[in-house]
Structure 1
Amino acid sequence: MLTARDLTVLEAAVEAARRLERHRPRDDYTHTVASAALDVGGRLHTGVNVHHFTGGPCAELVVLGAAAAVTADRIETIVAVASADLRVLAPCGRCRQVLLDLHPDARVIVTDERGFVAVPVSDLVPYAYRQPVA
């Protein structure tokens, strides 16, 4: 079950994905995923992926950078949404690891047999690699 704050994050990501799809040239697939995050201070942050053959950042990583650029508080909740069909996407392995490392208390909105759920990022990374503390 999503909280009201979770729904705010999901709605922001869906709206960003809709904007992407409305303004995307027909054959341009550079930006296909939108993400939104809510920090513990209540500020929303959005971003989109940058697809490129050399590799590019996922939407979740762009959101983390955008949040950091405005000195956001810790991320409370994050979600990614595909622009083509507005479905919620689970984060890739790299994004899961980055979220776990930088925002270990964050929750991620994903889907399961019950519908939308917000789960601790640690649930998405069983047996996680933990960077040694120097």
Structure 2
Amino acid sequence: MADPSQVRELVARCLEARGMAYCPYSHFPVGAAVLTAGGAIVTGCNVENASYGLTVCAERTAVQRAVVEGHRAFTAIAVTCDIKDRFVGPCGACRQVLIEFGPHWVVYLTKPDGSYRETSLEELLPLPFSPHHLLGPPAKD
């Protein structure tokens, strides 16, 4: 992703989404913003639940919202939380959800001050289980 203004917008939108997080149990707000192949930005935040297993992470919320809006191709995601001294990446479940839509995402790990580190989904999730494993040619007996 080369357009610096688009990266700034993506980072700003994930920071904004973090402010909408519903996290009364962990007090760990997370925001995410995905960039679609068509240039739209869709945001998400974490939404906790008293039944902890039903909690949904910000990254999955953003992807699910984007899918509801008709998007299926993505190029980047920015993710932020309140940790100030280091960059934090998506959890394993979120990485698996992202890979569902292809391995070539640019990932911006973002601190609360807006600084970010660029990485890739391929780096964060090497040797993934992906749709290709289910949709590839049938195994020979």
Q: Is the 8 A contact 2:80 2:109 kept in 1?
A: no
What is the aligned counterpart of 2:24 among 6, 16, 28? 28
Where 1:63 maps in the other structure, the secondary structure is: helix
Equivalent position of 1:125 in the other structure: 125
TM-score by length of 1: 0.75
TM-score by length of 2: 0.72
Cα deviation for residue 38 of structure 1 reads 1.2
1:6 alignment partner AA: V
Q: How far apart in 2 are the matches of 1:102 and 1:119?
A: 17
CA distance in 1: counterparts of 2:45 and 2:118, whole angstroms: 20
Check 1:110–1:85 CA distance in 2 against 1; reply closer, same or farther (3 A cut).
Answer: closer
- What SS does structure 2 have at the residue aligned with 1:10? helix
Counterpart of 1:15?
16
Match of 1:116 in 2: 116
Q: State how many pairs are aligned.
A: 125
**In structure 2, what is the Cα distance between the partners aligned to 1:60 and 1:103?**
15
Deviations 1:62-84, CA, capped at 9 Å, x for gaps: 100100111125111112212x4
Share of identical aligned residues, percent? 26
**Is the Cα contact below 8 Å between 1:38 and 1:75 reproduced in 2?**
yes
Structure 1 residue 40, shift from structure 2 partner: 1.6
Instruction: Report which of the two structures shows the higher radius of gyration computed on alpha carbons.
Output: 2
Bigger strand fraction: 1
Superposition RMSD on alpha carbons, in Å? Answer: 2.8
Partner of 1:54: helix, strand, or coil?
helix
